[in-house]
Amino acid sequence: MNRLSAVLFDRDGTLVVDVPYNGDPDRVRLMPCAAAAVALARSAGLPTGVVSNQSAIGRGLLTVDQVVRVNERADELLGGLDTWVFCPHGPDAGCACRKPRPGLIRTAAARLGVPPAECLVIGDIAADVLAARAAGARGVLVPNTATAPAEVERFATESAPDPLTAVRAALTEAGLVPPRRPPHTPPARTAPAAGGMWWSREGSAVVSEGRWSSVRNAASPAGTRPPSDRAPLVFDTRRSSAPGETTGSSVSGAVPPGGVRAFGRWPA
């Protein structure tokens, strides 16, 4: 990696402890070194983001709002990232955003205003590294106890023991000499936007950004709207995502790729 302009993290198993299909913010716990990794990237002046598959939405187990509330709690514990981009579809939906496809990384890079090729992507499974490759970015595997041994072996030369080591090595390689110790508290941020985390549709993915997001704080007042101004998520029941999946007119149905009529009241 010759140039490093942003750091993107997987969520579950990388930044937060993986609680399957978690919709409860109170169950969010950080992984070791996660907050320090985010703080180190920010201390080098790099924007940060999260790219995450959230198939529980497509399976009808969680709503978008529940995922966003979990993101909001994680964002608070991590000191604030700039963008959270997630795929709401099931594995068989054929969308462009679910990792190992590159859609989430491309969307996050666009939100941050950087080329995908200048992003570092850190995750705990092969899909994270493969999505990075597909987007032209660099992927680093940070294995945990749930990572398949075959994946650990496959990406042995593209791995790190924890997110902090991955960020530190990338900064060094890019010539951005990291401090000997990461900051214990997040660097000074611009005044946070009012309200909590909001979400909107971005192509087939969903984007959520919190109070400390530089993207959100740089937005015009008209483009930064509080959660109370959202309309319910509506599915287009005329478009099925995959054989055997159910569809419906509420958040409990399957989410067809490109079949969502509205994610809130922002323009599509």
Separation between Cα atoms, residue 95 and residue 256, nearest integer Å:
8
Helix/strand/coil for 100:
coil
The residues that bridge with 121 in the sheet, in sequence order, are 8, 139
Residues sharing a CB contact under 8 Å with residue 161, sequence separation 6 or more, in sequence order = 142
> Which one-letter DSSP state was computed for residue 157?
G
The H or E element that residue 106 is part of is: helix 103-112
Whether residue 104 contacts residue 131, with contact meaning beta carbons closer than 8 Å, is answered with yes
Is residue 241 within 8 A of residue 90, CB to CB? The reply is yes
Q: Which of 10, 124, 128, 162 is catalytic?
A: 10
Tell me whether residue 10 is one of the annotated catalytic residues: yes
Q: How far is CA 239 from CA 28, 93, 225, 248, 255, in A?
A: 34, 11, 29, 10, 9
Report how far residue 188's alpha carbon sits from residue 184's, in angstroms, rounded to the nearest whole number. 12
Give the 3-state secondary structure of 203-232.
CCEEEEECCCCHHHHHCCHHHCCCHHHCCC
Q: Measuring CA to CA, how many Å separate 249 from each of 87, 204, 245, 268?
A: 19, 18, 14, 19
Residue 190 has which token pair? 């611009």
The CA distance from 151 to 138, in Å, is 16
- Number of helices (H) and strands (E), helices first, in the chain? 8, 9
Question: Which positions are catalytic?
Answer: 10, 12
